[in-house]
Structures are given as structure tokens and as C-alpha cells.
């Protein structure tokens, strides 16, 4: 066998480094007979080059060699290949050299001449230790799954550990999303020298060893774990394939666990929300009449007292306060009843601009000042198939919110826009008020959440808007305007 020959990868791989041809031949003969794959070279520099290009379980190196001695090689190997065990040999052994070798991370130290029994025992222990180090990486990635359900934490760790265990140049985990592959974790994100999607499809990276395993859990395929080595490096061996399969299975299970956790959390939230909403709906329906009857009496009595010409000014102020709070109670009950009824929409052909014009008139009556409203809509109005009553309820609510956001502010105005694009009829209500705090943006359409002062909002207005728009096959969103203020946008399928 030629000293630098590299046979096809099979079992554990051992690299022999010795400048004496006779000793190289001895190690090759003995270790090949034991079933190991053996590569032999005559100097440390060449050995380091091979070790960086391909994985070895064990390196047996002489201490004294030209170009790069054994201790220097040991030091570099521990940097480049920490999983690889190194045994040092020498015919001129001293305690100092042995101690230095062990400090640098050598597995053991052999004195020449080396006996067959001693060599066999030592090599077996070293190879087993190297294998255990590989399994430790797999164990660490398994342990990570019990520490966190966050894929952003687990998948990068699996990519990093699999790169180390597989002695890869780079490892990437790609997930299938909507029929496309997305890179979810990359051991070396700065590198861009491999098209992994093309590699998985059967093309690319022809000049470098590659190994790909499918992420499968049960019957679901979630993506791929793919590893590559440096150009012209040794191909991956059967053990690498087994280890990669374990890492891929762990990644798939992590994805599955994350999905199950999300579904559980979502279901839990929906159940809690449903319970809250059903309770509120039942409560609203049950007490609405009990509240509305005394409210009617209170408001009627206020009107009768207002008609008394002998009423003192202070009493008039008190009556105004009573009337305002009674009207507010009536509005709260009305919102709760709308929320409790949840009737299905009665859809018809609706001209959007005409509906918004009438909504604007109603919204103006709901505030005590004259807001400036700028209208921007096309000459020919888009038409939608929607429930006009529900759509008007949404528009009035959004306009009232906009008016309240600008009340008392200088140079304030609201803007009502209508347009049609890509088969959608879109209208938006803008204001130049204070805008929406970023922390509130995600909760703005949730029930019982309000940004208004205590006593100023029910927390159901925007939730009802979202509910009604979705029932009419539309979407509603909120955003802050770059120039200040907020914008609420509603889009619905446009009629041809």
C-alpha cells in the first residue's frame, strides 16, 4: 500500500504519522488486520493537511519528525479536530516529553518498540473514546430539546453540533414551508459558497463531499439536514451517514414539538378566549333589558327636568352629567349586545363610497366638535358584496376613533380614502393624532383591550370591527403613519 493512499471509507479511520517507512508499514499491517482503515504519511505537515480535509478517529504520531514535530502537530490537531484522539510515540521517551504531550491533550503515550497486544488495546480504547465524543454531541443536541421549545435555539445548536461530529465544513438545516426550502439554521451563516437547495435537488457542489438527510417525524417531512466538506476532502463514511440520520431525526422532532407546542398554546388561548367571550355574551344578553329599562327612565326623567324653567344652573350641569353617563351606559350595552348576537351577515351589492359618506355623517354626530375630514376616493366607486349594516358599523367606529384621536390637537384632521387594487376594494381611515404605542399594536383588535382612558372605552369596538369584516370575507389592519398618527385599513373582495 502506498503511504499516502486513502482507501474507501469503511470503519474507524486511523492516521499514522512517522518519518520511518518501516514503522509506517508495521502500523498499517497490524491495524488493517484488525479491520481499521489506515492512512500513513511521513511528516506532520502532511498529516495536518489530511486531518483538516477528512475525519480521523485516531492519529498515532511520532514525536520527532522533520518539518513539523509531533507536539506541534498535536497542538494543531486539537485546534482543528477536537474530536480526534491522538497517541504519541517515541523511541527517546522522557518524562518531560510525556507530560507535555498529555498537557496538550494526547490520549496516551507509547514507547517504541511497540508490541502488538499493547497497540491493539490502546487503539481500541482510543477509538471508543473518539466514538463516545461523537455520541456526546448527539446527546447534547437531544438534551437541548428538553431545555427549550424554541426552534431558534435548538436548530442552530443541532447544526453546530452536527458540523463538529460529522467533521463537516458547513451544516445547514432547511425547512419546507409552502413548498419552498427556507434556511432555518446554518453553522456558518457568513458563507455563501453552496446552493443547498440545488444540492438537495441533485445539482451543485459536485467538487465537494456532501451528505443530506431528510427531516422526518412520523409521516411528516419537515425539511433536510445537509452537510458539506471542503473541496476535494474525503467523502462521508457510513458512520457519518448514521450520525447525520440521528441529527436529522432530532431536528425533525424539534420542529414537530414546536408545532405541537404552538397548537397547544393556540388552542389553550382560544379556549380561554372562547370561555371569556361566551360568558360575556351570555351576561350581556341576560342583563341588557334589565339595564336598558332603567336607562330609558333615567334619560326620560332628565329631559322632563331640563324642561323646568326654574331649574338652577348647578342643577342643569348635574343633569348634563347624568345624561352623558346614561348615554355611555346605553352605548356599552349596545356594544355588548352586538357582541353577543353574532348574527350572520346579510350580503348585498354595496357601493362603497356612498356607504362611507353616510357613515361619515353619522360619525360627525357622535362627537362634540367639528373635525376636519379629507376625502380621497375615485369618481367611480368600487362595489362589494357585503352586509351594509355591518360595514357601516365598522366605518362609523373607525371614524369615531379617529375623531377622538385628534380632538383638541392643533392642525388636526382625519382622512378617508377609497381605492381598488388587485381585485380588492380598500378603504382606510387615517388621523394625525398620537398614533398607537408599539407594545399595543399586537393587541389592538383583541376583545376587552382599549388604549383609552378608564371609563372612555369598552374594549370591544375594534374587536367587533375585526369580527364583522372577517365575516364579510375581508381583512382589517392597523399601522402608524410615518408622519404621525394611525391608519386603519379595510380591504374586501371587489365586485367586477
Q: Is the pLDDT of residue 187 over 60?
A: yes
pLDDT at site 55? 78
Model confidence band, residue 7 (pLDDT cutoffs 50, 70, 90): very low
pLDDT at site 288? 65
- Domain final residue, candidates 243, 263, 283: 263
Mean pLDDT of 81-86: 83
* 129 plus 168 within the same structural domain: no
Mean pLDDT of 273-284: 60
Whole-number Å distance between alpha carbons of 278 and 132? 57
* 426 plus 406 within the same structural domain: yes
- Domain final residue, candidates 82, 102, 135: 135
* 396 plus 357 within the same structural domain: yes
Domain presence at residue 4: no
Work out the burial of residue 330: count CB atoms within 10 Å of its CB; fewer than 13 is exposed, 13-18 middle, 19 or more buried: middle
**Taking a C-beta distance cutoff of 8 angstroms, is the pair 65, 90 a contact?**
no
Mean pLDDT of 94-122: 83
Mean pLDDT of 346-372: 88
Domain presence at residue 8: no
Q: Is the pLDDT of residue 30 over 70?
A: yes
Q: Which of 148, 24, 133, 138 is nearest to 85 (CA)?
A: 133
475-484 pLDDT, tens per residue? Answer: 999 999 999 9
252-263 pLDDT, tens per residue? Answer: 888 887 777 777
Q: Is the pLDDT of residue 342 over 70?
A: no
Residue 273 sits in a domain whose CATH number is: 1.10.287
423-445 pLDDT, tens per residue? Answer: 999 999 999 998 988 888 888 88
**Taking a C-beta distance cutoff of 8 angstroms, is the pair 226, 212 a contact?**
yes
* 374 plus 482 within the same structural domain: yes
Mean pLDDT of 130-134: 68
Strand partners, 180: 177
Residue 469 sits in a domain whose CATH number is: 3.30.565.10
Model confidence band, residue 134 (pLDDT cutoffs 50, 70, 90): low
Domain presence at residue 47: yes
In total, how many domains does the chain have?
Answer: 4
Whole-number Å distance between alpha carbons of 2 and 25? 10
pLDDT at site 426? 96
Whole-number Å distance between alpha carbons of 184 and 170? 14
pLDDT at site 438? 87
Mean pLDDT of 198-205: 64
Domain presence at residue 176: yes
Distances, alpha carbon 471 to alpha carbons 109, 192, 217, 247, in Å: 77, 46, 37, 45
pLDDT at site 14? 92
Whole-number Å distance between alpha carbons of 400 and 405? 9
pLDDT at site 272? 56
371, three cell numbers:
373635525
**What's the mean per-residue pLDDT of the chain?**
81
* 255 plus 286 within the same structural domain: no
pLDDT at site 458? 55
What is the separation of C-alpha 210 from the centre of its chain, rounded to a whole number of angstroms? 27
Indicate yes or no: pTM above 0.75: no
Residue 74 sits in a domain whose CATH number is: 3.40.50.2300
Distances, alpha carbon 456 to alpha carbons 209, 350, 446, 453, 459, in Å: 67, 32, 17, 5, 9
Q: Is the pLDDT of residue 219 over 90?
A: no
Of all residues in the chain, what percent carry a pLDDT higher than 90?
A: 22
Domain presence at residue 371: yes
The residue that leads in pLDDT, 242 or 93, is 242
Q: Is the pLDDT of residue 33 over 80?
A: yes
* 305 plus 403 within the same structural domain: no
- Total number of residues shown for the chain: 496
Whole-number Å distance between alpha carbons of 438 and 442? 8
Domain of 394 in residue numbering reads as 348-493
The residue that leads in pLDDT, 152 or 198, is 152
Mean pLDDT of 381-392: 92
* 224 plus 286 within the same structural domain: no
315-340 pLDDT, tens per residue? Answer: 888 888 788 777 767 766 665 566 55
- Domain final residue, candidates 218, 243, 263: 263
* 40 plus 104 within the same structural domain: yes
* 337 plus 356 within the same structural domain: no
Domain presence at residue 170: yes
Domain presence at residue 489: yes
Q: Which of 418, 411, 413, 447 is nearest to 430 (CA)?
A: 413
Whole-number Å distance between alpha carbons of 490 and 488? 7
pLDDT at site 206? 60
44-71 pLDDT, tens per residue? Answer: 889 998 888 777 889 999 988 888 888 9
Q: Which of 434, 443, 411, 418 is nearest to 480 (CA)?
A: 434
145-179 pLDDT, tens per residue? Answer: 545 557 788 888 888 888 888 888 889 999 988 77
CB neighbours (10 Å) of residue 121?
11
Model confidence band, residue 15 (pLDDT cutoffs 50, 70, 90): very high
pLDDT at site 459? 64
Domain presence at residue 6: no
* 175 plus 312 within the same structural domain: no
For the chain, report the end-to-end CA distance as a whole number of angstroms: 80
Residue 255 sits in a domain whose CATH number is: 3.30.450.40
CB neighbours (10 Å) of residue 475?
13
* 102 plus 207 within the same structural domain: no
* 334 plus 411 within the same structural domain: no
pLDDT at site 149? 55
Amino acid at each position: 500500500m502506498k503511504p499516502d493512499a486513502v482507501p474507501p471509507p469503511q470503519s474507524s479511520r486511523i492516521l499514522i504519522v512517522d518519518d520511518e517507512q518501516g514503522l509506517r508499514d508495521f502500523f498499517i499491517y497490524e491495524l488493517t488486520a484488525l479491520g481499521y482503515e489506515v492512512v500513513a504519511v511521513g511528516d506532520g505537515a502532511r498529516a495536518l493537511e489530511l486531518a483538516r480535509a477528512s475525519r480521523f478517529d485516531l492519529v498515532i504520531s511520532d514525536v520527532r519528525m522533520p518539518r513539523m514535530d509531533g507536539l506541534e502537530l498535536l497542538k494543531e490537531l486539537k485546534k482543528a479536530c477536537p474530536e480526534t484522539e491522538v497517541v504519541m510515540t517515541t523511541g527517546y521517551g522522557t518524562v518531560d516529553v510525556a507530560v507535555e504531550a498529555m498537557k496538550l491533550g494526547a490520549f496516551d503515550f507509547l514507547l517504541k518498540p511497540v508490541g502488538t497486544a499493547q497497540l491493539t488495546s490502546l487503539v481500541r480504547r482510543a477509538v471508543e473514546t473518539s466514538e463516545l465524543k461523537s455520541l456526546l454531541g448527539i446527546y447534547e443536541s437531544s438534551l437541548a430539546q428538553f431545555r427549550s421549545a424554541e426552534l431558534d435555539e435548538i436548530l442552530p445548536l443541532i447544526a453546530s453540533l452536527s458540523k463538529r461530529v460529522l467533521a463537516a465544513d458547513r451544516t445547514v438545516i432547511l425547512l419546507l414551508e409552502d413548498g419552498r426550502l427556507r434556511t432555518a439554521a446554518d453553522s456558518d451563516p457568513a458563507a455563501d459558497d453552496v446552493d443547498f437547495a440545488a444540492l438537495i435537488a441533485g445539482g451543485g457542489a459536485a467538487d465537494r463531499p456532501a451528505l443530506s438527510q431528510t427531516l422526518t417525524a412520523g409521516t411528516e417531512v419537515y425539511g433536510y439536514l445537509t452537510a458539506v466538506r471542503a473541496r476535494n476532502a474525503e467523502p462521508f463514511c457510513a458512520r457519518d451517514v448514521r450520525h447525520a440520520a440521528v441529527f436529522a431525526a432530532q431536528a425533525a422532532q424539534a420542529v414537530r414539538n414546536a408545532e405541537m407546542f404552538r397548537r397547544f398554546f393556540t388552542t389553550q388561548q382560544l379556549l380561554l378566549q372562547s370561555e371569556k367571550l361566551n360568558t360575556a355574551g351570555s351576561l350581556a344578553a341576560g342583563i341588557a333589558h334589565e339595564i336598558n329599562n332603567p336607562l330609558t327612565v333615567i334619560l326620560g326623567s332628565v329631559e322632563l327636568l331640563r324642561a323646568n324653567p326654574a331649574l338652577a344652573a348647578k342643577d342643569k350641569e348635574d343633569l348634563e352629567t347624568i345624561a352623558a353617563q346614561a348615554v355611555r351606559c346605553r352605548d356599552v350595552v349596545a356594544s355588548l349586545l352586538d357582541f353577543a348576537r353574532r348574527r350572520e351577515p346579510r350580503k348585498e351589492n354595496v357601493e362603497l363610497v356612498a356607504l362611507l359618506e353616510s357613515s361619515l355623517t353619522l360619525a360627525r354626530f357622535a362627537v362634540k366638535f367639528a373635525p376636519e375630514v379629507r376625502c380621497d376616493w375615485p369618481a367611480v366607486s368600487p362595489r362589494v358584496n357585503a352586509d351594509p349594516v355591518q360595514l357601516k358599523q365598522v366605518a362609523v367606529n373607525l371614524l369615531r376613533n379617529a375623531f377622538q384621536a385628534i380632538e383638541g390637537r392643533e392642525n388636526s384632521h382625519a382622512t378617508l380614502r377609497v381605492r381598488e387594487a388587485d381585485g380588492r376594494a380598500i378603504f382606510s381611515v387615517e388621523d394625525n393624532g398620537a398614533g398607537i404605542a408599539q407594545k399595543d399594536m399586537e393587541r389592538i383588535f383583541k376583545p376587552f383591550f382599549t388604549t383609552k382612558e378608564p371609563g372612555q372605552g369598552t374594549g370591544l369596538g375594534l374587536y367587533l370591527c375585526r369580527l364583522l369584516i372577517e365575516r364579510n370575507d375581508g381583512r382589517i389592519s392597523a399601522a402608524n403613519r410615518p408622519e404621525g398618527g394611525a391608519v386603519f385599513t379595510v380591504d374586501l373582495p371587489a365586485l367586477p
